[in-house]
Amino acid sequence: MPEKMTAKKEKNKLFHVEKRFDMPLWQSLLIRFGFIVVALFIALLILTISYGVNPFAAVGQMFIGSFGTPKRFWDFFRDGALLLGVGLALIPSFKMKFWNLGGNGQIIVGALVSAILMIDLGGKLPDAVVLLIMIPSSILAGAVWAAIPAIFKALFNTNESLFTLMMNYVSVGLVNAFIMFKYPIGSHIIPRLNNANFPTLFNDSLLIILIVLVLLAFMVYYLKFSKHGYELSVVGESMNTARYVGINVKKVIIRTIVVSGAICGFIGCLLASGVDFTVMPTTGNNMGFTAIIAVWLAKFNPIITAATSFFIVFITRGMTKVQSDNNIMNDATPNLVIGLIYFFIIGCEFFIEYKLLINKGGKEMKITEFIKSLFTSKVDKVKLPPATEGVEEEEVK
Amino acid sequence: MKKTVEKEISVRFENITKTFGSVIANEDITFDVYKGEILSLLGENGSGKTTLMNMLSGIYFPDEGQIYVNGEKVTIASPMDAFRLKIGMVHQHFKLIDVFSCLENIVLGIKDKEKADMRKAAVAVNEICNKYGFELNLAKKVYELSVSEKQTLEIIKVLYRDAEILILDEPTAVLTPLEIRNLFTVLKNMRKDGKTIIIITHKLNEVMEISDRVAILRKGQYIDTVKTSETNENKLTEMMVGKKTTLNIDRTEPVNVQDRLLVEHLNLRNMDGTKVVNDVSFIARSGEILGIAGIAGSGQRELLEAIAGLKPGYRGNVIFNRPKKNLPVSFFHKTYAQVVNMAKNGAFHYEDGTPVSFDGMSPKKIKDLVNSEKVLFNEDEVYNLRNLNPRKIRELGVRLSFVPEDRLGMGLVGNMDLVDNMMLRSYRKGKGSKLNRKKPEALADEIVKELDVVTPNIHTPVRKLSGGNVQKVLVGREIASSPKVLMAAYPVRGLDINSSYLIYNLLNKEKEEGSAVIFVGEDLDVLLALCDRILVMCQGQVTGIVDARTTTKEEVGLLMTSTEKEEEVKENA
Amino acid sequence: MGDFSWVLVGLIDAISLAVIFLFGCIGETINEKAGNLNLGIPGVMCIGAAGGAVGALVYMKTIYKVLPIDIDAISFSFGSLVSYILLMLFVIIFVTIFAGLSGLLFSFLTTSLKANQNVTGLALTTFGAGFADFIMGLIRTTENKPLFTIASKIIRFHLPFNEAALGQAGMLLLGNGLFVYLCFALAIVVFLVLNKTRIGLSVRAIGENPATADAAGINTDKYKYFATMIGCAIAGFGGFFYTMSHVGGTWENSATLQGLGWMVLALVIFTVWNPLLAIVGSVIFGFLMSLPYVIPGIGFVEMELIKILPYAVTIIVLIFTSILGKKNVLPPGSLGVNYFREER
């Protein structure tokens, strides 16, 4: 007894959690996929119970909603591309651990500047000239809008998540003020702006999609192969290391956020001149927030962000279709479902990043395999490295 | 072991062993602490003092062995268990909440309703203060306190929880002499009150002054417990550092010794204004290894960081003598006009000795020629690196490498692979905005091969490597630029024997190639066997520079713990 | 001197908005004091609104049928008093459960599953808005709609003071529904709990420095769970008050409420995490929000610019506090960061 007493330790806790680094990609993808399926299942179950939706038909309707007609097909890819564009804008700032929650605002000021120029110069100057003025101006507007919080972050360490969040509402206010200024009478809605629209290729969507693809290529290059991208990764990973190699941290912070804001501003320009043909307080439809989730789920990888963005758009559009096909007079369905799926994916990250050890009769065992075996029987053969090493010392800290 | 019958045993450690991975922190430790005494726990860094005490205070749990408190077997699995047994520890890093008042910090986490009542607590705490002679304004916020006041607060916190057994981890490290005096008065008052006090320390003069008995640990093992009145500083030093053990490190005689780096009157204060480097002057020479010895936290780290350009705002000079050898030209900091002008004055020559003339060449051509590294110059240049950042230092063409103590927090980026970590120093090279991964890849391959780095491939994040391999990658990168000055802070900390020897050999190789190596170490045996000269620091000051070939462990050990002797030994070098 | 009676009109309007803000602000302050930057608060308020509506409907379908209240009658019978109290209980229970569960979800994801707080918060906002719209769509059928109007009237019921006797200023003070007074009282209570009690001390310690709190023997996970759940439950009442009082039992969609929810986040910063200041701050925000509609002869553009003011002021507060660096007005030290004991 006296000898074994020491082995008792602090093992009264039921669960014990530790970080893991060793999950293979396919396995983590499988877990994510499993969780998404479960989330969708629950969502459809809710719809079945409350509105009598046929869940099997609903799956078909989701695909029809995204790809059913040529228009839906192109709209799907355009919306996905736009969301991806915003995601690409946010990736550099998040990789630098700068929580840019101000994508919405940066998009809106870009769109606002575009709209102002379309209204004031459109028709007076050739469209091409207006566009040539408009695009850089929107980019500049987005960049400035992002630079303001970045400068304060760099100089005074002002909390960037709260600052950028507030900037969103200031930009909305500016749009409202502008509309009231220009259209004081009537319904206060800007009519469709017909001058200086963004050029099109075959249809409204293709050029935008192509531009975002170019942006994607640029961002892959910027993050992975450029000195700027390298510097911002170092700053994001460790400020100390950045200083150790002489990186000017303040400069990198401001520069990176300016890049973020500039791209958002450009997306705003695309929205105002190529999609909505106007500017509204709701321009961008909260893409600045949605994109945060998209890039976070993609672990800030631009190419995976493409997948997550299109997935989110697929669910949104698909659920809209399910809703209308089943005569649900409730336009909340997409948000409800998407929110539910978010929770499941967010939760499942835990099982990818951490090992959960369960305490059974004083003995700790891994339950990840157990949990996984609930979803699939294939993973039984997955062998995880022994968790015993290091467990002892960590748990008493 | 001396057991006095008339004394009551407060704490008994019995066969305590604690390991972390493969490192044995404490091995089979057995000794007693008496009630109402002040016991010093003496030992070098890494001798396992803090680990042992952390087991008493519930931070760690022993792998083997048994702790007795007041004669009873106890299981201390958490700090709460320790509180219940009336054991309190004042850690080296204070556990206080900055924005709270002193009183709020004191009652934080107390479960007992009566004791947690602020008004009653204020009265009780004041009583404690009066009883032992503390002075502290309880309404003050912690961020308004000085370091010594924070320590006072920590002690009061422990006392308010009715601790009978107090553990203080290096309590005097952060205090001024006057504050130390006050602390000792308080400790003596507490002893009078029957409390048991254990002080973790390595300062011999304080051990002699305050403690009744001294327990000595060395490299995780218990050596002995002696009565303070029956010993002296020399005997204690000997027990603390042990007999000299011979290590198989080849030490060559320095050749072609030149003054490379002159540090003059370097003074540095840390964020809260305390002086961490105090008027340090020394010369590091090419072809030599200069060891820096000292108790951890004596300013070694800050000194190296200041030299490396990471601590802007220090006073004093850091002079770099560029070697008179032929070197490839680099012109980060010069205009083309200046370059052409220097060429006119015969400053540059080709490898075979013929002088270079840039007359009539386009800037691009000059640049290409310079980049080809075929143009050499032999100018003797002296730079003052004072308050230049690491990038500026590089741009001057000064090849100063630094292996910092915090490998994954400063030297490397854990989440990046070997290649990207290789690039940290060199990514700015080359034109345009594009990164060039060719050279870093080659370098990573080379380092993996040359230094036997165990890694799946060069695209593995370094965080996944073991400690020894991480260090190989870091040192490998730092010596890859054939530095003229190489500084390494605790480069073998946490490494196994083989990796350690590999690092020693690398340092030796750099020395032979003419680099001025500065090595901060904690193991005196290694310092004595590896270095040519040893600079000893104590509390931010240089207490001596000794010849490593002739000095003894005792001499260095004494210098490490004394503050008054610097005058006599300063010129020893 | 001009006529400033519009100030009073604006204040009366502001009180109603202020209650929404204040509930939200108190809730989010508790969240943030425990170290959780809960960007899901707009969603939580929506969920609270849904909970309140469900509670009110259940009341209308059951109790009200037995114990109807004649809201226009001056005298209150014992039966209607019981009925009134039951309605209050119903909505309080339903809002607490709905919004509290959303807090449970948030803390489960962030505290136990260590998910990123920003992302979880945004997801909660998306979900909450969808959830509220969805529930409202289910229960607000044509036949039910009048029931909500009646319930709203009862909830807004105030003691029958005579406006002629009290004047506008008197009505401002006394002519409000029960929840208005509950809300202001709650702010004081939460302030006292956070700053004067042992529990509050532990919560703040966790928000500042969870490792230290942990070392002092505080169960950080437990406190985080409770702080988030209680905070979210309180914030939920903001949403409930919006739909069942401010807009009189109607519901168009969650967009407006979401907008108010984001303002709550601004308000928390504006009032530097102090529920007492939040009372003043919420009235100021409410006043600024109602200002455009009450200033006589104001232009449309000025109206919109005034609406920016709350955010602009918040940004200025944010900047000044960070420049001054005075520790007692800075955000809680570990705000937005999850605590994982094994990470050093």
Mutation site, B57, B96, B97, interface C, largest C CB count within 10 A: B97
Put simply, whether C188 touches B (Cβ < 8 Å) is no
Q: In degrees rounded to 5, what are phi and psi of residue B268? A: -145, 135
Report in angstroms the alpha-carbon separations of B83 from B38, B87, B103, B157.
Answer: 20, 5, 18, 11
Quick one: which H or E segment has residue B319?
strand B315-321
C326, pLDDT greater than 80:
no
Tell me the chain B residues in contact with residue C208 when contact means C-beta distances shorter than 8 Å.
Answer: 97-100
Residue B366 is given by DSSP the state: H
- Residues B78, C204: C-beta atoms closer than 8 Å: no
Chain position carrying tokens 């990471």 = B310
Residue B262 is given by DSSP the state: E
**Looking at chain B, which residue has its C-alpha nearest residue A236?**
B413
Tens digits of per-residue pLDDT, A129-188?
999 999 999 999 999 999 999 999 999 988 888 899 889 999 999 999 999 888 888 777
Of C215, C327, C328, the CB nearest to B79: C215
Of B61, B389, B433, the CB nearest to A227: B433
Question: Residue A95's pLDDT band (boundaries 50, 70, 90)?
Answer: very high
**Looking at chain A, which residue has its C-alpha nearest residue C105?**
A343
Class of domain A69-325: mainly alpha
Are residues B263 and B170 located together in one domain of the fold? no
Lowest mean pLDDT among B218-222, C73-77, C157-161: C73-77
Tell me the chain C residues in contact with residue A397 when contact means C-beta distances shorter than 8 Å.
Answer: 341-342, 344
Instruction: Answer whether A221's CB lies under 8 Å from A304's CB.
Output: no
- Residues B98, C216: C-beta atoms closer than 8 Å: no
Which stretches within chain C are classed as H helix?
5-33, 41-61, 63-66, 78-107, 117-139, 145-156, 163-174, 178-196, 198-208, 210-215, 220-241, 255-270, 275-294, 300-324
Question: What mean pLDDT, rounded, does chain C reach?
Answer: 87
- Residues A226, B433: C-beta atoms closer than 8 Å: yes
Instruction: Answer whether B507's CB lies under 8 Å from B518's CB.
Output: no
Distance CA B404, CA B411 (A): 6
What is the distance, to the nearest Å, from the Cα of residue A29 to the centroid of all Cα atoms in its chain? Answer: 18
Are residues B255 and B285 located together in one domain of the fold? yes
Distance CA A263, CA A270 (A): 11
- Residues B66, A240: C-beta atoms closer than 8 Å: no
How many cross-chain Cβ pairs, B to C, lie less than 8 Å apart?
Answer: 54
- Residues B143, C217: C-beta atoms closer than 8 Å: no
Question: Residue C327's pLDDT band (boundaries 50, 70, 90)?
Answer: low
Question: Residue A368's pLDDT band (boundaries 50, 70, 90)?
Answer: low
Domain, as residue range, for B93:
9-241
Q: Is the pTM of this model over 0.90?
A: no
In this prediction, residue B405 carries a pLDDT of: 87
In this prediction, residue C114 carries a pLDDT of: 86
Which stretches within B168-288 are classed as H helix?
177-192, 204-210, 233-241
Lowest mean pLDDT among A159-168, C37-46, C186-195: A159-168
Q: In what order do the strands lie in the sheet with B221-227?
A: B72-74, B64-69, B9-20, B23-34, B221-227, B213-218, B38-42, B196-201, B165-169, B87-90
The residues on B that touch C, with CB distances below 8 Å, are 78-80, 83, 95-100, 104, 107-111, 113, 116, 118, 141, 143
B64-69 vs B72-74, strand pairing mode: antiparallel
**Cβ within 8 Å of A, B 72-111:** 73, 75, 77-78
Instruction: Spell out the domain ranges in chain C.
Output: 5-343
Residue B11 identity (one-letter amino acid): V
The residues with which B291 forms a beta bridge, in sequence order, are B519, B534
Question: Residue C204's pLDDT band (boundaries 50, 70, 90)?
Answer: very high
Structural domain contains residue B1: no
**Report for A141-145, B207-211, B375-379, B492-496: range of highest mean pLDDT:** A141-145
Domain boundary among B441, B461, B481: B481
Are residues B55 and B181 located together in one domain of the fold? yes
How near does any CA of chain A get to the CA of C115, in Å?
6
Question: Residue B199's pLDDT band (boundaries 50, 70, 90)?
Answer: very high
Are residues B286 and B169 located together in one domain of the fold? no
How near does any CA of chain C get to the CA of B455, in Å?
24
Quick one: which H or E segment has residue A50?
helix A25-51
- Residues C217, B99: C-beta atoms closer than 8 Å: no
Question: Residue A382's pLDDT band (boundaries 50, 70, 90)?
Answer: very low
Residue C300 is given by DSSP the state: H
How many structural domains is chain B composed of? Answer: 4
Please name the chains neighbouring B, where neighbouring means 3+ C-beta pairs under 8 angstroms. Answer: A, C
Instruction: Answer whether A8's CB lies under 8 Å from B75's CB.
Output: yes
C238 or B79, higher pLDDT: C238
Question: Residue A364's pLDDT band (boundaries 50, 70, 90)?
Answer: low
What are B381-386's contacts with CB under 8 Å, separation 24+?
Answer: B381/B321, B381/B322, B382/B319, B382/B320, B382/B321, B382/B322, B383/B319, B383/B320, B383/B322, B384/B317, B384/B318, B384/B319, B384/B320, B385/B307, B385/B309, B385/B318, B385/B319, B385/B320, B386/B314, B386/B316, B386/B317, B386/B318
Please name the chains neighbouring C, where neighbouring means 3+ C-beta pairs under 8 angstroms. Answer: A, B
Distance CA B535, CA B521 (A): 11
Question: Residue A388's pLDDT band (boundaries 50, 70, 90)?
Answer: very low
Residue B102 identity (one-letter amino acid): C
Distance CA A347, CA A355 (A): 14
Please name the chains neighbouring A, where neighbouring means 3+ C-beta pairs under 8 angstroms. Answer: B, C
Question: Residue B331's pLDDT band (boundaries 50, 70, 90)?
Answer: low
A23 or A339, higher pLDDT: A339
- Residues C342, A342: C-beta atoms closer than 8 Å: no
Residue-wise DSSP of B25-86: EEEEEEEEEETT-EEEEE--TTSSHHHHHHHHTTSS--SEEEEEETTEEE---SHHHHHHTT
Topology, domain C5-343: ABC transporter involved in vitamin B12 uptake, BtuC (1.10.3470)
Structural domain contains residue B2: no
Are residues B495 and B534 located together in one domain of the fold? yes
Of A21, A233, A240, the CB nearest to B410: A240
Cβ partners under 8 Å of residue B417, min gap 6: B458, B459, B460, B461, B462
Of A226, A238, A389, the CB nearest to B435: A226
In this prediction, residue A15 carries a pLDDT of: 64
Q: Which of C91, C72, C92, C70 is nearest to C81 (CA)?
A: C70
Cβ partners under 8 Å of residue A56, min gap 6: none
Distance CA C143, CA A370 (A): 50
Question: Residue C1's pLDDT band (boundaries 50, 70, 90)?
Answer: very low
Mutation site, C46, C112, C116, C118, interface A, largest A CB count within 10 A: C118
Are residues B358 and B459 located together in one domain of the fold? no
Distance CA B504, CA B482 (A): 16
Report CA Rg, chain B: 27
Please give the structure tokens belonging to residue B43: 């030992």
Lowest mean pLDDT among B218-222, C75-79, C115-119, C231-235: C75-79
How near does any CA of chain A get to the CA of B131, in Å?
34
How many cross-chain Cβ pairs, A to C, lie less than 8 Å apart?
Answer: 176
In this prediction, residue C341 carries a pLDDT of: 62
In this prediction, residue A1 carries a pLDDT of: 31
**Looking at chain A, which residue has its C-alpha nearest residue C341?**
A397
Please give the structure tokens belonging to residue A248: 């000017």
Q: Hey, is B347 helix, strand or coil?
A: coil
How near does any CA of chain B get to the CA of A248, in Å?
9
Tens digits of per-residue pLDDT, C8-34?
777 888 898 999 999 999 999 999 999
How near does any CA of chain A get to the CA of B370, in Å?
22
Mutation site, C201, C218, C222, interface B, largest B CB count within 10 A: C201
Are residues B178 and B306 located together in one domain of the fold? no
- Residues A396, B60: C-beta atoms closer than 8 Å: yes
Distance CA B144, CA B132 (A): 23
Please give the structure tokens belonging to residue C83: 């009925």
Put simply, whether B435 touches A (Cβ < 8 Å) is yes
In this prediction, residue C297 carries a pLDDT of: 78
C84, pLDDT greater than 90:
no
Structural domain contains residue B404: no
Quick one: which H or E segment has residue B547?
strand B541-547
In this prediction, residue A396 carries a pLDDT of: 34
Put simply, whether A233 touches B (Cβ < 8 Å) is yes
B315-321 vs B196-201, strand pairing mode: unpaired
The segment(s) of chain A belonging to CATH 1.10.3470 are 69-325
Tell me the chain C residues in contact with residue A160 when contact means C-beta distances shorter than 8 Å.
Answer: none
Which stretches within A238-301 are classed as H helix?
239-244, 249-270, 287-297
B38-42 vs B196-201, strand pairing mode: parallel
Question: Residue A122's pLDDT band (boundaries 50, 70, 90)?
Answer: confident
Counting residues of chain B whose pLDDT is more than 70, the rounded percentage is 90
Tens digits of per-residue pLDDT, B98-117?
889 999 999 998 888 888 88
